[in-house]
């Protein structure tokens, strides 16, 4: 596919779905107390989705206090990132779990 076709396809898609064609969902899997990948990059307006495969509850808690996401065992939780910056986060229940969301404008 040539770049022109990709552009055209993108224009058509964005015409249909408007905003959602631009906002992405970035997935982080939690398995055996590890956020994977440990570092993800998102744009303001994107959704970060944590998929908890563990038998215990976790959180994704920003160290700067910006957000706190509760993730029940075997469940998925989501957050729309609204501010840019490098956000370190951890699990309140198991502070040995650490991750980073790099949010770009």
Partner 1 sequence: MLVRLSAAIAAVCLLSGAAFAQGVAKPTDPQIAHIAYTAGQLDIAAAKQALKKSKNKEVRAFANDMVRDHTAVNKEALALVKKLKVTPEDNDTSRALTKQADAKRAELAKLKGKAFDKAYVDNEVAYHKTVDSALENTLIPSANNAELKSLLQTGLKIFQGHEQHAEHVAAELK
- Catalog residues that contact partner 1 under the rule CB under 8 A: 32-33, 54-57, 73, 91-97
Q: Tokens standing for 91? A: 């699990």
- Which residue, 59 or 81, has its beta carbon nearer to partner 1? 59
Residue 103 structure tokens: 């949010």
Q: How far is the CB of 24 from partner 1 (least distance, A)?
A: 30
Sign of the Cα pseudo-torsion (18, 44, 40, 3, in order): positive
Measured from the CB atom, is 15 or 95 closer to partner 1?
A: 95
Closest approach, Cβ 19 to partner 1, in A, equals 38
Kindly state the smallest distance separating residue 98's Cβ from partner 1, in Å.
Answer: 11
Strand partners for 30: 35, 52
User: Judged by CB, which is closer to partner 1: 37, or 73?
Assistant: 73
Using DSSP's 3-state secondary structure scheme, residue 5 falls into: helix
Q: What are the structure tokens assigned to 31, written together?
A: 């398995």
């Amino acid at each position: 596919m040539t770049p022109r076709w990709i552009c055209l396809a993108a224009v058509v898609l964005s015409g249909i779905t408007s905003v959602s064609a631009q906002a992405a969902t970035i997935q982080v899997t939690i398995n055996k107390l590890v956020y994977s990948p440990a570092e993800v990059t998102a744009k303001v307006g994107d959704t970060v989705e944590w998929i908890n495969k563990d038998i215990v509850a976790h959180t994704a808690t920003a160290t700067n206090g910006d957000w706190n996401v509760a993730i029940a065992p075997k469940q998925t939780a989501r957050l729309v990132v609204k501010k840019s910056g490098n956000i370190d986060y951890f699990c309140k229940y198991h502070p040995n779990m650490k991750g980073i969301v790099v949010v770009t404008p």
